A and B are shown apart, each in its own frame.
Chain A
């Protein structure tokens, strides 16, 4: 039985080239999920059902794999995904102060998205830029040697670029 709560209408044709390349290749489920997330920004339920159907497995197994890995999201994310590192070096060098500054300024919880949909905020394990700690990534750009003041400047710059308040 298909889940009745599937109100989503994702454009499944976008995933067709990915499925064509990988659906029959054993062991490719994670790769397919990564491509799907790149396309849709997250993993919508109807996409998960579609992947299960096309790869000849169950939605439960696809969900089981997807939920195991921190990379996969099941809610849409903001245009800018802030990943604040809380690895050992960043932790020792005060990443919690940076987290507090971001949360206070953007009114966003760890794992949440701002009301305007511009930013999502996530505290993550080590990003591997320890000598610049504390560090964060916004999408694919890395920012180091952060202070609460510096992080606000970075966020304000993005907001200005996007014409937000």
Chain B
């Protein structure tokens, strides 16, 4: 019997306490023949920290929500093989289904291999695809053809066919070409790219090498958000290891193919997710989008032919080469092939990373895999595509996950953020939240985006503050259309989507705010009105003592009253009242 222990240490795992668990285990295992290893993120974020026990390289037990105090029992279990002491930490069959219902390609090694070990990546099949291409003399054209057959489309959001971009960059004249990875994952609510880099950096490197070979690039650049320090650290380490092993550098595997790698840390600008803005930023400029055409395939980084894809796109490439384009295309729908990774978050029971074949329904993902809404509340909407996307309401839960079908709802596939909302989420306030974001992140280059998003934000602000006017909805619609049609880049063109999609499905909430000065979800504080019902109030004084601004008065055993002029609508009185005597409208 040969046992080993692996602790999941992605950013989320570490935040949940995985490093402390690791540090508690380390001294207990030193001097034993049980190796203690690090793996990345398995994607079951709600169960972090997670510790896996392997016996002869087969998973024997997955322990979840582990605390440092459990270390002794875990070490014993690993030494003796007797799991009874850690039985209460073993994942339930129901929670395990979160993984078994998925199809993992981009995430295939995440949470399984050691991200800091090339050996570990190679044992899982790392670098076999690029080795096959170079050793067996597969031509760049054949690689592009394989990607074409697979139907792989850009996973960053736009869904543009990957082979087409590669082919265009290959066909562009010139010897100096660049391959760029967009890891500037800026959509709030999306973290799949971070997870892939932190958990399986070699899969990204291999995918990029294949891309570089296909288009004829000599340099590959990964543009990573500065907010992801761990991802940068692990990627730096992986690049160094791959370089030492001869996968990166001059004349790779004795062929004519040479490719260098480097990382460029972004400096915090959402617009740099737009490919031409990203290129400007790579060149040390303000990250403002360029006019297209020319597209980067013709004139990109330093105006040389360049190809840009995001992390998840590249993470699929080696698998496609190894398994054939047909195997990838066999999954999904007519329009959308393969799998897609989603970051399932918000008011969901089981939040984490989910990779599923295209063609599943939203209901499958949210209820079957994600376990539905937590705290027994009702599902209201799911937000997809971040600030460029929209909200999909409950009646459309059976929508199939597919680029065209999702676009028809007014949302988009996007990079994969799926933020689930329950009945306590105000949709007007959500629309305002996204416009606050885009107005702040607008680079200012074009008027429609710079001023249009600002005006949209102002109108939405006055609506949630109870100062909405008749005609505001029509004004919003008119302005949304103008911004969508007039903005220069994707940021501005899609910025109105959160407003348009909430207006489409939740127009009554806008009307309630504007006409009745009422927030149906009870979240817009300016529109709330707290009231104590004299017949139900026992005069226990609990609320009066809790009120932070002393707005509640009354004698003991007598009904209390709220002074509306003092009330700050914090809701603490409701939470305190045991008799249900306080209501909010």
Contacts and interface: CB of A to CB of B under 8 A. Distances in A.
Interface in A30-66: 30-31, 33-34, 64-65
Given A92-B347, A127-B227, A128-B227, A68 B269 contact: yes
B282 A27 contact: yes
Interface in B281-310: 281-287, 302
Contacts, number: 133
Nearest to B287: A68
B346 A128 contact: no
Q: Which 4 A-B pairs have the closest CB atoms?
A: A131-B45, A87-B188, A69-B267, A29-B284
Contacts of B281: 30
A128 B15 contact: no
Interface stretch (B107-115, B189-197, B537-545): B189-197
Contact of B284 (A27, A86, A125, A141): A27
A70 interface: yes
Interface in A90-146: 91-93, 124-133, 135, 137, 140-145
Given A71-B267, A88-B188, A129 B346 contact: no
A128 B228 contact: yes
Contacts of B15: 129, 132, 135, 141-144
A89 interface: yes
Contacts of B419: 88-89, 92, 130
A57 to B, nearest CB: 10
Given A71-B268, A135-B15, A91 B228 contact: no
Given A27-B283, A126-B188, A128-B227, A133 B269 contact: no
Contacts of A87: 188-189
Interface of A: 26-31, 33-34, 64-65, 68-72, 86-89, 91-93, 124-133, 135, 137, 140-145
Given A65-B286, A92-B421, A130-B345, A125 B265 contact: no
B417 interface: yes
A71 B226 contact: yes
B46 interface: yes
Contacts of B285: 29, 65
Contacts of A137: 227
A128 B185 contact: yes
A34 to B, nearest CB: 6
B229 interface: yes
B12 interface: yes
Contact of A133 (B14, B282, B345): B345
A27 to B, nearest CB: 4
Interface string B352-367: 1000000000000000
B12 A132 contact: yes
A91 B432 CA distance: 12
B75 to A, nearest CB: 26
Contacts of B347: 92-93
Given A71-B226, A126-B186, A34 B351 contact: no
Contact of A130 (B48, B225, B268, B343): B343
Given A69-B287, A126-B190, A92 B45 contact: no
A88 B346 contact: yes
Contacts of A144: 12, 15-16
A86 B229 CA distance: 19
